[in-house]
Structure 1
Amino acid sequence: MNDTEDSEKEVLEINAKGAIIFVVAASAFLLLLFYFMSSWFVWLLIVLFCIGGTEGMHVCLVALISRLSKDCGQKTLYLPIFGEVLVISVVVLPLCAAFAILWAANQHASYAWICQDILGICLMIAVLQMARLPNIKVASALLSCAFVYDIFWVFISPLIFHESVMIAVARGDNGGGESIPMLLRMPRFFDPWGGYDMIGFGDILFPGLLVAFSYSL
């Protein structure tokens, strides 16, 4: 079995029903976070983010190093449980895990946003490699649902819940001061009041799926 066949098996193809179910489930999860979010639950999300970010960074670095040096991408060794794996993969994975742990331990530091954004970008790249839109019909359904999702939870939810649910969850208002890590952050360098500009992963992933679909045509 060659690498092409392996990569084809790892691709998750999204259908129209799955797109709608995903957005509905995301809405339910957002509402759950809004009402029941606590510091321990946010830390659970942080651990999951670290795992996903580690895997995403691992995938990106192995692919990059393999492109730069074909010899590194061909050397393998045998591990008792995992079987035959790339040597570069064994070397890179602990470094990626250490990077994620460093961010988790210092996430309130002034430089932590850089580490969080690197992990988030690598995670999104890995997701875009695994997920695929089969046709423009599914793409239209997914993006339309995502559009309604964003509009409702950012701008309409204050009329029902007295505050923007998505913004409250993103800032960690109910999480004991801890904010969820599933977003990219950028400091407002020239704002006298400070703070961060934020963008959620979904705002990048959904258009990214469409761009990847267009590129594959």
Structure 2
Amino acid sequence: MSPAAAEPTRVSAMAEQTYSWAYSLVDSSQVSTFLISILLIVYGSFRSLNMDFENQDKEKDNSSSSGSFNGNSTNNSIQTIDSTQALFLPIGASVSLLVMFFFFDSVQVVFTICTAVLATIAFAFLLLPMCQYLTRPCSPQNKISFGCCGRFTAAELLSFSLSVMLVLIWVLTGHWLLMDALAMGLCVAMIAFVRLPSLKVSCLLLSGLLIYDVFWVFFSAYIFNSNVMVKVATQPADNPLDVLSRKLHLGPNVGRDVPRLSLPGKLVFPSSTGSHFSMLGIGDIVMPGLLLCFVLRYDNYKKQANGDSCGASGPANISGRMQKVSYFHCTLIGYFVGLLTATVASRIHRAAQPALLYLVPFTLLPLLTMAYLKGDLRRMWSEPFHSKSSSSRFLEV
């Protein structure tokens, strides 16, 4: 074959390879990962904001004095991360990762049971609004007493019962879809109940977790002769029913046919051909989700403080269109671009990628830039939810 005749063949082959590579980025598993992760962040952020509104209404009912909206809720069930916790959280996560890497066989049953309990509570929280909608027409919202266990509404009992049923079916079948449902509940619950109080804490936390993610994905193999992050994330655990059957000597046909369990610390979606799964850790959803929850609360606070004229106090050289762009939408777009970049990088390198390496810069940098341009950076950095009148009483250092 002459060189002139071979050239179109090579061009055609390159075009086919490019098409196949581009098509692999938009297969069903990747699209599902993108959509579900963004929906979980949006839903968890608005659940968090709704909890603030509910707590604000309760405070107004319990006290005759009315105050301005405070972004830091006084609800005891909500955990606010401070600077010290943000600095030490990556260290604690690293210790937990090493424990799971070296002693997984010893602690897998305990870890599976604890994860199942947390997933049950989290999924019940995820189902609660739907159950409240279903039970509202047929039953009053009175709480039923269960002695020392507490008082619960019919909607709470229904959501918890459905969650327990789903966990039991997951233990019996080990199906990936049920594992994803439990992981979704964990994502929404953590985004709703954990708060970042300021942009400074957000930067400390996300920067530390970026270093944590990069080290354990890229450099752990040089020290431990194995990719610690990938091995822990993909290693299945023994089914508690199988372990219980062997401990009690119940016989070979009792509890021995249950599958090993892939723990709900990640979202997995199969491709349309079933040839592979796309995987995204819940930390890659929750940690950027906490930042998006923070900026959503700040957008709402600023909207209330400015009387629905968000950005009216910004610099004069910033256009009105820029002032109308919310921090939440800007950061959410950055999350989408970062997730897309991480997907492209994993396809190019054909290896697992630390998603936070791409998600953190694409969410934090646009947010910091927009806050600087709007003149909100100083307030968002330290005390974003304190009014100017109260903060002016103190000497700024």
2:314 corresponds in structure 1 to: none
- Deviation, structure 1 residue 24: 0.2
2:205 corresponds to 1:142: yes
1:211 corresponds in structure 2 to: 292
1:43 to 109, 113, 116: 109
Quote the sequence identity (%): 27
- Which deviates more, 119-128 or 77-86? 77-86
Q: Could you tell me how far apart the structure 2 residues matched to 1:83 and 1:158 are?
A: 48
2:143 corresponds in structure 1 to: 76
- The letter for the 2-side match of 1:188 is S
Equivalent residue of 1:9, what SS? coil
- Structure 2 residues not aligned, in runs of 5+: 1-53, 60-72, 239-259, 299-397
2:127 corresponds in structure 1 to: 61
- The letter for the 2-side match of 1:65 is C
1:32 corresponds in structure 2 to: 99
Q: Could you tell me how far apart the structure 2 residues matched to 1:42 and 1:199 are?
A: 21
Aligned residue pairs, count:
208
Equivalent residue of 1:199, what SS? strand
- Deviation, structure 1 residue 133: 0.2
Q: Could you tell me how far apart the structure 2 residues matched to 1:119 and 1:126 are?
A: 11
- Deviation, structure 1 residue 146: 0.8
In terms of fraction of residues, the more strand-rich structure is 1
1:22 corresponds in structure 2 to: 89
Q: Could you tell me how far apart the structure 1 residues matched to 2:210 and 2:164 are?
A: 34
- The letter for the 2-side match of 1:119 is L
1:121 corresponds in structure 2 to: 184
Verify the 8 A CA contact 2:128 2:156 in the aligned structure 1. yes
Query: Which of these two proteins has the greater Rg computed from alpha carbons?
Result: 2
Equivalent residue of 2:141, what SS? coil
- The letter for the 1-side match of 2:208 is C
- Structure 1 residues not aligned, in runs of 5+: none
Q: Could you tell me how far apart the structure 2 residues matched to 1:42 and 1:181 are?
A: 13
Verify the 8 A CA contact 1:50 1:101 in the aligned structure 2. no
2:235 corresponds in structure 1 to: 172
- Deviation, structure 1 residue 50: 1.6
Q: Could you tell me how far apart the structure 2 residues matched to 1:86 and 1:178 are?
A: 32
RMSD: 2.4
Query: What TM-score does the superposition give when structure 1 sets the normalisation length?
Result: 0.85
2:270 corresponds to 1:187: yes
Verify the 8 A CA contact 1:42 1:178 in the aligned structure 2. no
1:52 corresponds in structure 2 to: 118
Equivalent residue of 2:152, what SS? strand
2:152 to 61, 85, 101: 85
- Deviation, structure 1 residue 196: 2.3
2:281 corresponds to 1:200: yes
- Deviation, structure 1 residue 73: 6.9
- Which deviates more, 133-142 or 153-162? 153-162
2:194 corresponds in structure 1 to: 131
1:82–1:34 CA distance, 2 compared to 1 (3 A): closer
Q: Could you tell me how far apart the structure 2 residues matched to 1:165 and 1:52 are?
A: 24
Q: Could you tell me how far apart the structure 2 residues matched to 1:180 and 1:80 are?
A: 33
Q: Could you tell me how far apart the structure 2 residues matched to 1:19 and 1:44 are?
A: 27
1:132-173 deviation line (CA, Å, top 9, x unaligned): 000000000010011111100001111222221101111218
Q: Could you tell me how far apart the structure 2 residues matched to 1:178 and 1:50 are?
A: 11
- The letter for the 1-side match of 2:142 is K
2:79 corresponds to 1:12: yes
Q: Could you tell me how far apart the structure 1 residues matched to 2:296 and 2:219 are?
A: 34
Equivalent residue of 2:117, what SS? helix
Q: Could you tell me how far apart the structure 2 residues matched to 1:205 and 1:95 are?
A: 24
Q: Which has the higher contact order (CA 8 A, sep 6+)?
A: 1
Q: Could you tell me how far apart the structure 1 residues matched to 2:276 and 2:140 are?
A: 42
- Deviation, structure 1 residue 97: 0.5
Verify the 8 A CA contact 1:131 1:209 in the aligned structure 2. yes
Q: Could you tell me how far apart the structure 1 residues matched to 2:199 and 2:140 are?
A: 35
